[in-house]
Amino acid sequence: MTSQIEKLFQLVMNIVKVGIVKHYNPENHTAVVEFKDFDCVVSRELQIAETFTYQNKTYFPLREGQKVICLLLPQSGTTDGFIIGTVYDEDNQPPVKDENKFHVKFEDGTVLEYDTANHKLYADVKGNVEIEVSGHMSAVVKDDVLIKSSSQITLQAPAINLQNNSPTIGFLEGDFRIVGSLTVEGNVEVDGNLHATGSIIDEGGNTPHHTH
């Protein structure tokens, strides 16, 4: 009886192990793991468990040296099984220690974070951002919006409509250059000088002081 219990205990001990990724295969999304606490035994390529793998899919590659938890098949010893997760330790601490934050930090320094206490979504991208939308895109903001660039901002579309519900609030501040024709449906008031290199045509005949 004692011998059977010992065998069962040894079997359970061999099912779940903590190891270090020795090699990662990005094509198959598998990894070879070394178990240093078990005579440095090296596994075969283990499948990596993901949250979604069917119609909805996730893909998070592992890195060499990463500590992982493995679920091994009993009949294989320590060679076949699955990687079911990763863990932090004293040498590899979490990037944040706040129960209110959901945080993702990438190796290039890019950070995606949501703070449930302050209701704040934060993104710090160390590179370019590209968004492709095949349908309608809408953003409704209940406070101020600031778009700031150290270079230039380009809006490109067949038609661009700027609408303001209160005509006394909207304004353009700074120096602007319009390349092309400008048509205004309404009145134009100039608080300053008006300079034209061509003709100013008054079809209504309501400006007595201008000359052609």
Final residue in a domain of this structure, among 64, 86, 108: 86
> What is the structure's pLDDT at 20?
95
> What is the structure's pLDDT at 131?
95
> What is the structure's pLDDT at 168?
61
Domain co-membership, 15 together with 75: yes
pTM of the model: 0.75
> What is the structure's pLDDT at 167?
58
Domain co-membership, 80 together with 3: yes
Whether residue 61 lies inside any domain: the answer is yes
User: Which CATH number do you get for residue 50?
Assistant: 2.40.50.140
Whether residue 29 lies inside any domain: the answer is yes
Final residue in a domain of this structure, among 55, 86, 117: 86
> What is the structure's pLDDT at 104?
96
Whether residue 197 lies inside any domain: the answer is no
Domain co-membership, 81 together with 100: no
* Average pLDDT score over residue span 98-126: 97
Domain co-membership, 105 together with 78: no
Domain co-membership, 39 together with 118: no
pLDDT at 16 over 70: yes
Domain co-membership, 9 together with 65: yes
Domain co-membership, 37 together with 18: yes
Domain co-membership, 61 together with 42: yes
> What is the structure's pLDDT at 59?
95
Domain co-membership, 105 together with 46: no
pLDDT at 166 over 70: no
Which amino acid type is present at position 168?
T
pLDDT at 140 over 60: yes
* Average pLDDT score over residue span 164-176: 73
* Average pLDDT score over residue span 129-136: 95
Domain co-membership, 4 together with 74: yes
Domain that holds residue 3: 1-86
Domain co-membership, 2 together with 76: yes
Q: Count of residues for the chain?
A: 212
SS3 assignment for the chain: CHHHHHHHHHHHHHHEEEEEEEEEECCCCEEEEEEHHHCCEEEEEEEECCCCECCCECCCCCCCCCEEEEEECHHHCCCCEEEEEECCECCECCCCCCCCEEEEECCCCCEEEEECCCCEEEEECCCCCCCCCCCCCCCCCCCCCCCCCCCCCCCCCCCCCCCCCCCCCCCCCCCCCCCCCCCCCCCCCCCCCCCCCCCCCCCCCCCCCCCC
Residue partners of 142: CB distance under 8 A and separation at least 6: none
51-101 pLDDT, tens digit per residue, is 999 999 999 999 999 999 999 887 666 678 999 999 998 989 999 999 999
* Average pLDDT score over residue span 107-113: 97
Averaged confidence pLDDT in the chain? 87
Please tell me the total count of domains within the chain: 2
> What is the structure's pLDDT at 180?
87
